[in-house]
Amino acid sequence: MKRSTTENRWGVLVLLALGLMISFVDRTSLSAALADRHFIREFALTNVERGWLNSAVFWSTVSYRSRWAGWSTAMA
């Protein structure tokens, strides 16, 4: 049985929303962990390494959101 285009669009939208929610939780958890002194001491992170971690999460979030914005404007 073939799925309609509308059903496919809703499936894609649900997957994108789920990815955005996971991205938000990851970003929030990482920022809280990187501020915790016990976490920093446990992994022996320097300020530079903490910056690299924050930067990696930031750029992946920007990449994801820019694709989302392009997709949503193309669909309008």
What is the tens place of the pLDDT at every residue in 26-40? 778 888 888 899 999
Domain count, the chain: 1
The whole-model pTM stands at 0.55
Q: What is the mean pLDDT of residues 2-17?
A: 80
User: What is the residue type of 55?
Assistant: S
Q: What is the mean pLDDT of residues 1-18?
A: 80
Domain hosting 47: range is 5-75
Please check the confidence at residue 61 and state whether its pLDDT lies above 60: yes
Instruction: Give the chain as a DSSP string.
Output: -PPPHHHHHHHHHHHHHHHHHHHHHHHHHHHHHHH-HHHHHHHT--HHHHHHHHHHHHHHHHHHHHHHHHHHHHH-
Q: How many of the other CB atoms lie within 10 Å of CB of 6?
A: 8
